[in-house]
Structure 1
Amino acid sequence: MPYVIGADLPDQPAGQRFRALLDRPQILEMPGAHLGIAALLAKRAGFPALYMSGAAMSATMGLPDLGMITVDDVCWYIRQVVRAAGLPVLVDGDTGYGEALNVMHMVRAFEEAGAGAVHLEDQLLPKKCGHLNDKKLADAHDMAAKVAAARKARRHLYIIARTDAAASEGMDGAVARAKLYLEAGADAIFPEALTSREMFAEFARRMPGVKLLANMTEFGRTPFLTAKEFEELGYAMVIWPVSHLRVANRAMEELYATIRETGGTMAALDRMQTRAQLYETIGYHEYEALDASLVKTVVPEGMPQG
């Protein structure tokens, strides 16, 4: 069911609802869903929270994931996803869009837009996808200052510190940075681009009692692991950040090729969501009924008395 305008709003802020999901014994599974329609489809599939990837938002705008989008760009995406599904969302905050004061502005803006959690990374601009080479790391203490700034600015937002250090500083460097970020106020840690099951297991062993986030992206450096496998390795959260966009992009490529080759869309009908299915997904008739209830004509029963 879509989150129809006029429905009861949640009693708790998104950050508190996100934290409550992490208090459950099972791993928190968050598929990428940076568009309102994707959020509705993921909610229908039964996911309790969603992830919003900076790479997916950038690509949707026709831009590479190099830290080029702005806080306002991201807030536009957050608002539509939260409005559509009403679920807590974890948002990719990249490097915080600047230094400490910029991070504080980002935290407040994301909270006001409806986000439940954010992760910050310890790269320098231009930042890169964590699974690419030649990433440039920020000084660990500079990153810790950003985490402290985020903690100071937040009202309820859950703060996850991401470290990309494993590729250049090894496991010891990644663990040392993670501990520093926890001391600065991070609620959880995101070790990015670990390259084997053994690395995931080692990182978790060296971070006892810490909530950890795993990134299960395709075509990267991490081997395919299931949510259950990550849970068994000691991870509390897992994301599939760009999977939905990859599938949608391939489908659009095939559609455009079909139209060019055949002059129409008949050959693609069996791969389309029907109009009825789309209307059901977005709650068309619920909105229509709501509108009718609001504009219903009221007939006066009598003349007012002077």
Structure 2
Amino acid sequence: MADPKLKQMIEAGEFIAAPGVFDMISTLVADRMGFPALYVTGYGIAASHLGLPDAGIMTYTDMESRVRRIVEGAQTPVIADADTGYGGLLNVRHTVRGYEAAGVTAIQIEDQEYPKKCGHTPGRRVVPLEDMIAKIKVACDSRSSADFLIIARTDSRTALGLDEALRRGEAFEKAGADVIFIEAPETVEEMRIINDRIGKPTLANMVSGGRTPVLPSAELAQLGFAIGIHPALGFLAVGEALKHAYGALADSGDVSAVALEDFGDFSKLMGFEDVWAFDRKWAEV
């Protein structure tokens, strides 16, 4: 079931900073750090699970199975990327029901044409506005709990301009979406305009190297955003760390100077303490 705490925090005006998680290691690390929410990134799942780009290749089944495991392993409310809803209106209903049954607290659905692309890459095209409005209405009608939040995203800013993105955001708001996500604003002023125009809670996507300025949480909150997601933070950090560690091994064969997590602490994070306790209990049986 959806965790009511996320909706309560948003209604109370608390800013939600959500790191991107993409596998169980990133989930278990982030879950213990006291974040108000975790964000399951489609880009990260496509990269870690398939080794492929976030370009509409990953299916609903690919994503739902990994989202479900992440929710099972975390105590923190989970916001999950659902791309375009994985098809037409019937697919949207199936996706919403599946994500809610998996324990997701908020689902993100966007207005891109299929196959979709990462929101900070070129070549994105959007569906007609009325098609996305229908998806939002179906999504709202398909959930069983009002604590399960519908995040509606438009990718129209890059190709069609800010005015069209704002028009769509306002329409998404009227259609019943709980949170409005205007992807890829290009300046702080555009981010300010979004919050001046949109009446419902808004989401900012902080992608290092992307189109949108990456701002501290305090500044995002001051601009009026309710949620700030950092989908790429985890896998970009891991990628850089792996290059250093594997590079040391490849270059010199000596990894003694590589900064590493303590093996014992990592084993505890993975749940080995339970295994050790089980072994002690049943060792002589």
TM-score, length of structure 1 as denominator length: 0.86
Match of 2:229, SS state, is strand
Counterpart of 1:239? 229
Among 204, 208, 219, the alignment partner of 2:209 is 219
How far 1:278 moved relative to its partner?
0.4
- Aligned-residue CA RMSD in angstroms? 1.9
Among 100, 108, 120, the alignment partner of 1:131 is 120
Counterpart CA distance in 1 for 2:261 and 2:122 is 39
Residue 287 and residue 152 in structure 1: after superposition, are their counterparts in 2 closer, same or farther (change >3 A)? farther
Q: Structure 2: which amino acid aligns with 1:199?
A: E
Counterpart of 2:195? 204
Counterpart of 2:34? 46
How far 1:50 moved relative to its partner?
0.1
Counterpart CA distance in 2 for 1:27 and 1:236 is 5
Counterpart of 1:163? 154
Conservation of the 8 A alpha-carbon contact between 1:35 and 1:80: no
Conservation of the 8 A alpha-carbon contact between 1:90 and 1:117: yes
Counterpart of 1:56? 44
Counterpart CA distance in 2 for 1:258 and 1:21 is 44
Conservation of the 8 A alpha-carbon contact between 2:125 and 2:156: no
Structure exhibiting the larger radius of gyration computed from Cα positions: 1
Counterpart CA distance in 2 for 1:219 and 1:205 is 26
Q: Percent identity?
A: 36
Correspondences of 1:281-296 after superposition (within 5 Å): 281-289=269-277
Counterpart of 1:19? 7
Counterpart of 1:194? 185
Conservation of the 8 A alpha-carbon contact between 1:166 and 1:192: yes
Match of 1:32, SS state, is strand
Conservation of the 8 A alpha-carbon contact between 2:31 and 2:75: no
Conservation of the 8 A alpha-carbon contact between 2:21 and 2:27: yes
How far 1:149 moved relative to its partner?
1.2
Match of 1:218, SS state, is coil
- Per-residue CA deviation, residues 119-156 of structure 1 (Å, 9 max, x unaligned), is 11111122122122221111010011111111111113
Q: Structure 1: which amino acid aligns with 2:260?
A: M
Counterpart of 1:277? 265
Q: Structure 2: which amino acid aligns with 1:245?
A: F
Counterpart of 2:17? 29
How far 1:87 moved relative to its partner?
1.5
How far 1:15 moved relative to its partner?
4.5
Residue 297 and residue 256 in structure 1: after superposition, are their counterparts in 2 closer, same or farther (change >3 A)? closer
How far 1:219 moved relative to its partner?
0.4
Counterpart of 2:142? 153
- State the aligned residue count: 282
How far 1:117 moved relative to its partner?
0.7
How far 1:168 moved relative to its partner?
2.6
How far 1:212 moved relative to its partner?
0.3
Q: Structure 2: which amino acid aligns with 1:167?
A: T
Conservation of the 8 A alpha-carbon contact between 1:54 and 1:94: yes
How far 1:287 moved relative to its partner?
4.8
Residues 183-192 or 232-241, more deviating: 183-192
Name structure 2 gaps, 5 residues minimum.
Answer: none
Residues 61-70 or 130-139, more deviating: 130-139
Residues 38-47 or 156-165, more deviating: 38-47
